[in-house]
Structure 1
Amino acid sequence: MELRHLRYFIAVAETGSLTEAAERRLHTSQPSLSRQIRDLEEQVGVELLSRSARGVELTPAGKAFIDHARLALAQVEAAVESARRAAQPAKQRFSVGFLTGQEMTWLPEVMRILRGELPNIDVIVSSDYSPDLAEELARGKLDLAFLRAEPDFNLAYQVVGREPLVVLMPSDHPLTSRVAILPQELVGEPFIAMANKARVLRAVIDDYLDRSGIHIKSVQSVDNPAVVMSLVASTRSVTLIPAYVENLMPWSVASRPLEGGAPTIDLVIGYRRANTSSILKLFLSKVDELIAGVAKRLS
């Protein structure tokens, strides 16, 4: 069994289509991809994928196999990354990722904590969706990330903040006249839901709406804050979103708090338990200092 077999299998499982996986993800021919999948199933000894007119789906055996396949690839990529770092020991690299928009709040304090080490390290900063940050951590591409506690990755998480959800709406929406908004007032409004990729946030929102006893039918699902704000303004919709997005709002949208006990979502720092970076160890020893520094700046 070769690594390409695992990559091909995961690509087909995630796209649900041999054609799409071959053309868009793997840049190979469909017959070649089909042969590789058959070779993998012969080596495993069971059928991993079922083919039908609707596309390709995982069999029960495939569902059991895919998590281990992902983990195997992640471990290989982490090993490659570790080897590359070891080959350039002169100056250590420390890579920090942020859920897009959170760097505005947390990066200054991160750099302050690392200030004494900066002559000896290169700090690499990036921003992305939370699931993508978790994947980068698992693969050894990032040392630390500010993200949601994504459940499908074998990572360590530590809560650094809890953000309330707020209502986002067009700046001239009638509800902007309210100081705070009841969840029942969202019923009947066009609603932008979080896409499945942002499932940690989506779960918090869905749970809140269920507990509030209301049902809202979404008109669209997205996972990018910038796209959310654009759609809210252009389609005159509303949505629920973490309060940090208020730092990114254009003039065309406005926010209001929820009345009563607004739901919150955790912001965590995540890292691989197997990461032996001395800089990571130093940083983790100063997390309380980091939280206090951000709280003081925001007060």
Structure 2
Amino acid sequence: MELRHLISFLAIAEELHFGRAAARLHLAQPSLSQHLRRLERSVGVELVARNSHSVRLTPAGEAFLDLAREIVAKVDQAGQVARAAADGRTGTLRIGYNFPAGQRILPATLAALDHRHPGVDVEMHELRTGPQLSALADGKLDVALVYGKPPGTLHSRRLLRLPLVAVVGHRHPWAGRERVPFSDLAGESCVLFRRAQSAAMYDTILSAARTSGIQLTIADEVDDPGATAILAAVKPVVGFASAARGVSGPGRTTSVALYDPVPVLDLYAAWSAAQNPLVTAFLDCLPAPGSLQP
């Protein structure tokens, strides 16, 4: 059973006239008749009764009509969906992100994506940079919003530069200070993220220590920002966070700016080299370079 034979049958059923049906499909009438005969042989019953005076559907043809319409409509719908997916107008986009991206990048970007491509669904996964890059390499994410320039095997775009701040508990001597020189960390116990979780942050902190001529005392290494905040709240240690996360307030920790040097991190969008129209649609909705302030 061929799609063109179903289309010919539907034209005959709706026109009940071979000449008009052939003209509608831009076919010669003998070709239309041949399509019907082949369809009837495929189904095994007569679908259209015709003589020199009239054309009508048989009971089998009446029963066949609605399902034939559904089949042709589904094929047409499948084509529309495929074209929309090829253009990046439908499908599911899997996005990894960290806290600053969730605060500074995604709200406006996803609003623009929904406005331009309402048929696109988004799956969001908040992860550290290391797990995001692993998921991207494994094909589990389509886009990653991460700290540091990704490996050369990936495409990337720099979005934002953020300073790092110190995170301390309210009983820490630094809690009342607005900023401290990085060299003051020489006398402090520090909490870092494990390098596998965020290599760019880890390396930026150690690089700033070398620039300051000090060696950090690393009291603990953790996997997530919540653990950093808990340790800083209950122990006399210094943690680190991006300025987007480290906000002073009435909670158990506060942030203190660092300077001389100011450790900074670049936030990047990363994606696979494989062409994906959904990724292209997402990238087109990202803020223009330079439009975001630290």
Which TM-score band (shorter chain)? 0.5 to 0.7
Letter of the aligned partner of 1:137 in structure 2? L
Residue deviations 1:278-299 (CA, integer Å, cap 9, x gap): 232233234343863x54xx8x
1:118 shift after superposition: 4.2
CA contact (8 A) 1:97 1:133 kept: yes
Secondary structure at the aligned position of 1:154 is classed as coil
Q: Contact 1:113–1:290 (CA<8 Å) still a contact in 2?
A: no
User: Are 1:222 and 2:209 an aligned pair?
Assistant: no
Query: What aligned pairs does 1:47-196 form with structure 2 within 5 A after superposition?
Result: 91-100=90-99, 102-149=101-148, 151=150, 154-196=153-195
CA displacement 1:106-134 (0-9 Å, x = unmatched) = 22112122023443111111111111111
**Counterpart Cα distance in 1 of 2:249 and 2:289:** 25
Contact 1:138–1:153 (CA<8 Å) still a contact in 2?
Answer: no
Residue aligning to 1:83: none
Q: Which one is further off, 248-257 or 201-210?
A: 248-257
The alpha-carbon distance between structure 1 residues 237 and 166, as it changes in their structure 2 partners (threshold 3 A), is same
Query: Is 1:267 matched up with 2:267?
Result: yes
Unaligned stretches of 5+ residues in structure 2: 1-81
Question: Letter of the aligned partner of 2:187 in structure 1?
Answer: G
Cα distance in structure 1, aligned partners of 2:91 and 2:167: 42
Cα distance in 1 for residues equivalent to 2:132 and 2:252:
29
Aligned-partner Cα distance in 2 for 1:186–1:179: 15
Q: Is the partner of 1:238 in helix, strand or coil? A: strand
Structure 1 distance, partners of 2:130, 2:260, is: 30
Count of paired positions: 209
Q: Can you list the C-alpha shifts for 1:75-98, whole angstroms capped at 9, x where unaligned?
A: xxxxxxxxxxx8xx6941111110
Counterpart-to-counterpart distance in 2, 1:118 and 1:126: 20
Query: Percent identity between the aligned chains?
Result: 23
Structure 1 position 238 matched with structure 2 position 215: no
1:258 matched to 2:250: no
Superposed displacement of residue 273, structure 1: 1.2
Q: TM-score, normalised by structure 2?
A: 0.63
Q: Quick one: higher RCO (CA 8 Å, sep 6+), 1 or 2? A: 2
Distance 1:250-1:93 versus aligned 2 partners, 3 A rule: farther
Give the counterpart letter for 2:162 in structure 1: E
After superposition, the Cα gap between the structure-2 partners of 1:117 and 1:225, relative to the gap in structure 1 and judged at 3 Å, is: same
Per-residue Cα deviation, 1:212-252 (whole angstroms, up to 9, x for no partner): 00112111111311111111112221123321222597711
Aligned AA for 2:222? V
Higher helix share: 1
In our comparison, the structure showing a higher alpha carbon Rg is 2
Gaps of 5+ in 1: 1-85
C-alpha distance in 1, partners of 2:94/2:189?
Answer: 40
The secondary structure found in structure 1 opposite 2:118 is: helix
Query: Cα offset for 1:270?
Result: 0.5
Residue 123 to residue 290, structure 1, CA distance change in 2 (3 Å): farther
Q: Provide the aligned C-alpha RMSD in A.
A: 2.8
CA drift of 1:204 comes to: 0.6
User: Quick one: distance in 1 between partners of 2:285 and 2:150?
Assistant: 25
**1:101 CA displacement:** 5.2
Would the aligned equivalents of 1:138 and 1:154 in 2 still touch at CA under 8 Å?
no
Where has structure 1 moved over 6 Å in runs of 4 or more?
A: none
> TM-score, normalized by length of structure 1?
0.62
Distance 1:248 1:109, change over 3 A: farther
